[in-house]
Amino acid sequence: MVRRILAASLFALCIVAASSADGLLRLTFLGDIMAHVNNTRMQDFHDIYADVRELLVGDDLTLANLEFSVDQTSPVAGYPAFNAHRDYLEAAIDSGVQVFSTANNHSLDLWEDGIYQTLRSFERLGKRPGSTVAFSGLRGNPLAPFRPVEIDCKGVRIGFLAATQFVNYWIDSPYVNIVDYNDPAAAQAFLDAVRSEAPRFDLFIVSYHGDEEYMLAPSRRKRDFFHKLVENGAHIVFGHHPHVLQEYERVPDPSGDRLIMYSMGNFISGQTWKLGPADWGSEEAWKGDSMLLSVDVSLTGGKAGVQGVEPTLISNYRNSRGELVVGKLERLAEGSPDLGPAWTMYYRKRLDIVRAFLSGSLKAASGLARRP
């Protein structure tokens, strides 16, 4: 019932928010929305999104990974067991984020009660006048199958299915969609489900949370699994968990290009809180850099295809109150807002490094970049 209500709200939004060219949908993908203590102590959570809000509300659909419980009955808490209250999630929704992956290693941080409260929070926020929200990855009924949430956007039927490789307690929870690609039987069952479900939709998106943290390159097993997801019907594979950027890849297909994002890194977190301007070359700095990936999808003859991919580089920075928020990296490198010369130089250096990384010219010189 909850998902039918949320999907109906999305249908209403997408009819009036046709911002992209005729015949195209513009989707925006964000990385991890984290809830470290430094994030949840802010004065106004909307400030996190202020510099990129026009991109999020100006597209047709924005998707992100939500990496914390939303339990109004428990205290706000940071690492290692994350919990935020509804106002933190509400700020993301108000700022244009409509679709959330809720399957990740922190999904079970507050155990079963946290799952139930998170589901209630989504239900309540979805009932607000004018609110639009959908999610995948959790279920309240352990006997119900994990099925894609259906989103109707400008007449295009989108399926969204989220899974995680593990939860932090290394148990098999019936409330979280856990699929370990290192387990051949589990991986094949998930691939079979994607192959079965994908034809029901015009566009099928799989969100997957896994692999090793803080590595700038995906493991071979994850790369192979993501390609198999595409081969079995996924048009877009949305990857996260490493908390740093990894490459994205367009996969040619006769029916229309597919897209793989191996890791979108952190959108907002508290992981760079202790960095100073002189730390621009540190491995920790990668945890504050990410991008918004705008993806143009066409639908021709009932077949979806990725027509264009446009990254907007972003980074976390401290605003005038000393709070970590998100800013466009190019603007930060130009000195806007006024961060002072030392921090401006930091972001100039980071912009050069991230551009080199995405162009493939950055050598695997750091421990972050190397794979075993």
**In the chain, what are the domain boundaries?**
2-359
pLDDT of residue 127: 87
d(CA 77, CA 68): 9
DSSP 209-262: E-S-TT-SS--HHHHHHHHHHHHTT-SEEEEE-SSSB--EEEE--TT--EEEES
**How many helices, marked H, and strands, marked E, lie in the chain?**
9, 16
Asked if the peptide bond before residue 80 counts as cis, ω within 30 degrees of 0, the response is yes
**Angle of CA points 310, 289, 125, to nearest 5°:** 80
pLDDT of residue 14: 52
DSSP 76-116: -B-TTS-EE-HHHHHHHHHTT--EEE--STTTTTTHHHHHH
The answer to whether residues 238 and 230 touch, using CB atoms and an 8 Å cutoff, is: no
d(CA 284, CA 22): 42
Give the other-Cβ count within 10 Å of 330's Cβ.
16
Tell me the torsion sign for CA atoms 163, 27, 95, 119: negative
Burial class of residue 252, CB neighbours in 10 A (0-12, 13-18, 19+): exposed
The answer to whether residues 246 and 266 touch, using CB atoms and an 8 Å cutoff, is: no
8-state DSSP, 60 = S
At residue 151, what are phi and psi to the nearest 5 degrees? -125, 125
pLDDT of residue 361: 66
Per run of 10 residues, the mean pLDDT along the chain (length 372 residues) is 36 39 82 98 98 97 98 97 97 97 97 96 89 92 95 93 94 94 98 98 98 97 98 98 97 92 98 97 97 95 91 97 97 95 98 94 50 44
pLDDT of residue 129: 82
Q: Give 2-359's CATH code, choosing from 3.20.20.140, 3.40.190.290, 3.30.590.10, 3.60.21.10.
A: 3.60.21.10
d(CA 50, CA 327): 8
pLDDT of residue 351: 98
- Regarding pTM above 0.85, the answer is yes
d(CA 318, CA 81): 24
d(CA 155, CA 16): 12
pLDDT in tens, 138-158: 999 999 999 999 999 988 999
pLDDT of residue 169: 87
**Helix/strand/coil for 281:** coil
pLDDT of residue 362: 62
8-state DSSP, 178 = B
